[in-house]
Chain A
Amino acid sequence: MTGLLRARLIVQRTRFRLDAALHAEPGEVVALLGPNGAGKTTALRALAGLTPLSVGHIVVDVRQLHDQPPERRPVGVVFQDYLLFPHLSALENVAFGPRCRGEGRAQARRTAMRWLTRMGLAEYAHVRPDRLSGGQAQRVALARALAAEPRLLLLDEPLAALDAHTRLEVRAALRRHLEGFDGACVLVTHDPLDAMVLADRLVVVEEGRIVQEGAPPEVARRPRTPYVARLVGLNLYRGVADGYTVAIAPVDGAASGTFTLNAAEAQTGPVFVAFPPSAVALYRTRPNGTPRNLWRTVIDGLERHGDSVRVHLGGPLPAAADVTAAAVAELDLVPGRTVWAAVKATETHAYPA
């Protein structure tokens, strides 16, 4: 197995265990995506050497790093709050890495100036960090990490400290800068949009374990856990397929007994079935028409969702349905109301579990 980064990270705590195998190619951006407390940041700190591994290995460029202290690893980190040294100017912050690598003062400052220019921050070289905006501080932090010439770049929630407006700009700029980096990059985020825009590959971490890996479109289309399904906005079920029909395993909170869905693809054995909330149609009375998935259910709740209204449906198949505000009024959809839900087989997507 080749790759710039190969790692098996095991960190054992009293009430938490991280066990994740990670790899990355040169130029590849891998996003660790997961809910808070999933162990993403622990994984990042372990790669940087700031948290010791209980067991495992970290190899970068065929060099074993796991027994090296942080300062001996070719690993750069952009921390969540950027953590620019408050007593140094932007230029001196960026020059810190080159200085530690043995460059002279003047040479290090030239290197730093080159990086700041590349980030479009040349005129802020002599400004103290507390005078920089969030987006500027983020770019200085990125320049500082890259100026130390790491082979592996780690970004911890790179956009979390920014407001929604700057986030949009910084995300696009960050993507450009990462494209110019020839080492491997691992970024940690809980925001699926950041992950989809910035990463070539997603690694979803839940409770210290990797639950799904793949290219962003693949993960978005074929979620494998309820968490991922929620992130990408799909209804997701586990079941057993026999041709075009899938017997859905009872979902938590739903009445027991099997529920059968008709899928577009023929599969055999354990499968996932996913369909978007927009594929669910709601009726007050049983509709007539073509064969499709049709069931009677009760409305649990409603909430605004962009331009439409998201209707949460209870058993036997808990699902979210997106309908227009007009439909809500017309059908008088209120919590507790019994309705008929329908999903065309062609709108569902079944794939092996």
Chain B
Amino acid sequence: MLLVPALTGLAFLVLPVAGLLFAAPWTTLPARLAEPAVLEALRLSLVSATIATALCLLLGVPLAWLLARTDFPGRRLVRALITVPLVLPPVVGGVALLLVFGRQGPAGRWLEEAFGVTLPFTTAGVVVAEAFVAMPFLVISVEGALRGADRRFEEVAATLGASRWTTFRRVTLPLIAPGVTAGAVLCWSRALGEFGATITFAGNFPGTTQTMPLAVYLALETDPQAAIVLSLLLLAASVAVLAALRERWVSTP
């Protein structure tokens, strides 16, 4: 009784991907991949996703530490707030970013007056949009790793004379490295695929803000073959992420 819906579900998940592989213009693929527009979108995507991940690591790991290792009033509320970008439609995130970091927004005006920096419709804006959407993945992953880590090792470090910072750097961080890596990979793949917040906050300018997902969407109107090629690239990236995380996610006990 369960077999029919189960197989239908499987087909539903697998067939589109198989169709993509089937429809791919394999013979002209190398030439199409070498097209400057494709390379440009690919480069922009990789660079912005990587910088966004670095930003998430820089801000997200300390935030995860704060959530896992300290107790302060409103900690539960803070954790709830952090997960909001997870469930928020990305377009809404883009609109929110525009309101705050836009030229008329409070933070955006301050950034422009103080540093001459404008975020909307720039590559920096792409990074901000991606980081906004992807950071919860990292924070939640790292917080879980911190909670799972044996805190007695931190006590040992303290009795050996290590300050909190030394303990964190030389003991805690190496112990939770697998969790941080997993979080970073997840964060990176989410940033790579980000569409809604990016197009709303950073726009869609080839070379500066047009990342792969945006290029795919645009190409579908004008050059469906190019859209398929770009999609294949994103699919390859996703498969690579899956391979990198297979130990943690795919294998079930």
Q: Which residues of A contact B (CB under 8 A)?
A: 48-50, 69-73, 75-77, 79, 83, 85-87, 96-97, 100-101, 144-145, 148
A77 to chain B: closest residue by CB: B159
In the complex, whether B157 has a CB less than 8 A from a CB of chain A is: yes
Select one of B153, B157, B159, B177 contacting A48, CB under 8 A. B159
In the complex, whether B160 has a CB less than 8 A from a CB of chain A is: yes
In the complex, whether B161 has a CB less than 8 A from a CB of chain A is: yes
A148 touches B175 (CB 8 A): no
Q: Which residues of B, 106-148, contact A by the 8 Å Cβ criterion?
A: none
Stretch among B28-36, B89-97, B166-174, B190-198 lining the A interface: B166-174
Task: Give every chain A residue within 8 A of B171 (Cβ-Cβ).
Answer: 85
Q: Mark B153-190, 1 if CB is under 8 A from A, else 0.
A: 10111111111001000110011010000000000000
- With contacts A50-B159, A100-B166 taken as known, whether A86 is within 8 angstroms of B152 at the C-beta atoms is no
A50 touches B160 (CB 8 A): no
A76 touches B159 (CB 8 A): yes
Of A86, A87, A145, the most chain B CB neighbours within 10 A belong to A87
A96 to B155, CA, bound (A): 13
A70 touches B174 (CB 8 A): no
A70 touches B158 (CB 8 A): yes
A79 touches B156 (CB 8 A): yes
A178 to chain B, nearest CB (A): 18
B158 touches A71 (CB 8 A): yes
B170 to chain A: closest residue by CB: A96
A83 touches B152 (CB 8 A): yes
B177 to chain A: closest residue by CB: A87
A86 to B170, CA, bound (A): 12
Which are the 10 A-B pairs with shortest beta-carbon distances?
A: A100-B161, A70-B158, A97-B160, A87-B174, A77-B159, A100-B162, A71-B158, A83-B156, A148-B160, A71-B161
B153 touches A83 (CB 8 A): yes
A73 to B158, CA, bound (A): 9
A48 to B161, CA, bound (A): 11
Task: Give every chain B residue within 8 A of A85 (Cβ-Cβ).
Answer: 153, 156-157, 171, 174
13 other contacts beyond A77-B156, A96-B160, A101-B161, with CB at 8 A cut-off?
Answer: A50-B159, A70-B158, A70-B159, A71-B158, A71-B159, A71-B161, A72-B161, A73-B159, A79-B152, A83-B156, A85-B157, A100-B166, A144-B160
B163 to chain A: closest residue by CB: A71
B174 to chain A: closest residue by CB: A87
Of B150, B162, B171, B175, the most chain A CB neighbours within 10 A belong to B162
A77 to B160, CA, bound (A): 8
A49 to B159, CA, bound (A): 8
A73 to B160, CA, bound (A): 9
Select one of B159, B166, B170 contacting A75, CB under 8 A. B159
B158 touches A69 (CB 8 A): yes
Task: Give every chain A residue within 8 A of B177 (Cβ-Cβ).
Answer: 87
A181 to chain B, nearest CB (A): 16
B149 to chain A, nearest CB (A): 11
B155 to chain A, nearest CB (A): 5
A248 to chain B, nearest CB (A): 47
Mind listing 28 A-B residue pairs with CB under 8 Å? A48-B155, A48-B159, A49-B159, A70-B155, A70-B159, A71-B160, A71-B161, A71-B162, A71-B163, A75-B159, A77-B156, A83-B152, A83-B153, A85-B153, A85-B156, A87-B174, A96-B157, A96-B160, A96-B162, A97-B160, A97-B161, A100-B157, A100-B160, A100-B166, A144-B160, A145-B159, A148-B159, A148-B160
Task: Give every chain B residue within 8 A of A144 (Cβ-Cβ).
Answer: 160
B178 to chain A, nearest CB (A): 11
A112 to chain B, nearest CB (A): 12
